[in-house]
A and B are shown apart, each in its own frame.
Chain A
């Protein structure tokens, strides 16, 4: 298992650190006004702010700028059960809306793929690697700088989750890519 630290991830970590620095800075101010010990909260604010700045520095120099979903998406589970109806519905939506770019077997080789730069992701690789919530986020919001559009206006939340159910089942080999077997 390897962990890829992306620009977006470092930005999120820096945001958390800056939040902590702000809490310490406010604590230091509050302590100073009440003539209590204020140096250590101020030093703590400085430490957190310095690490946050270092994170941002790394984010914009060495970290790869890859699509990154917000951290909370990792904790979101698919509310749509893996039933044959949901998988069939997801398959139909996938083959209608997604396969033109991602390909009928989700390998990123649809008819429109050659026109896109970067090429569509091979979902047979990516779906098992990402939490469901991250995939849902990418489907819903699109991926800036790529041909992946935001589907939240065109597909309902349930439909987007059904597509993910289908992809998970298909990649795991539990269902066929098309309904005709």
Chain B
């Protein structure tokens, strides 16, 4: 049974999609760092 109810708005949307976008930014930063050569 679903007890939660939808309270959806722009702030929720920013949280939900901010996380994937934030992850993308972190990975982009990590990818663009210089890799150590063996």
- A positions within 8 Å CB-CB of B: 1-4, 6, 9, 12-13, 16-17, 20, 23-24, 27, 37, 39-41, 43-44, 47-48, 51, 64, 66, 71, 74-75, 129-131, 134
Contact = CB atoms under 8 A, between A and B. Distances in A.
Interface of A is mostly: helix
B5 A129 contact: yes
A20 B24 contact: yes
A122 to B, nearest CB: 12
Contacts of B7: 1-3, 129
Nearest to A10: B16
Contacts of A66: 2, 6
A74 to B, nearest CB: 5
Given A17-B20, A71-B17, A74-B13, A4 B28 contact: no
Nearest to A27: B31
Interface string B5-38: 1111110110111001101100110110111000
Given A24-B27, A48-B23, A51-B23, A2 B5 contact: yes
B24 A37 contact: no
Contacts of A75: 10, 13
Nearest to B37: A37
Given A44-B28, A48-B23, 9 more contacts: A12-B17, A13-B20, A17-B23, A20-B20, A39-B35, A44-B30, A47-B23, A74-B10, A129-B8
